[in-house]
Amino acid sequence: MQGVIKVYDPTTGDGVVVRDTDLAEVDLAGNALEGSMFRMLRPGQRVVFDLDSAGRATALRLGSEADMETPTF
């Protein structure tokens, strides 16, 4: 999945990403940045992510140009 960071608190690691496909807000998992190139996130930053079993965004990463296309609604 891909989306845009809506909010991120680097102190707590809490944050929200807005999913491109349906504009749903998805909370970040506590381990969302583990193993990724990101150390912090900024609002408006585009990311590719997976969902964990609780429906939270995890495994944040940069995507390729093809991954980052703006979806059509």
pLDDT in tens, 6-48: 999 999 999 999 999 999 999 999 999 888 888 889 999 999 9
Q: How many CA atoms lie within 13 A of 4 on its CB side?
A: 10
Domains assigned to the chain: 2-61 (2.40.50.140)
pLDDT band with cut points at 50, 70 and 90 for residue 69? low
Quote the tokens at residue 36.
């990724």
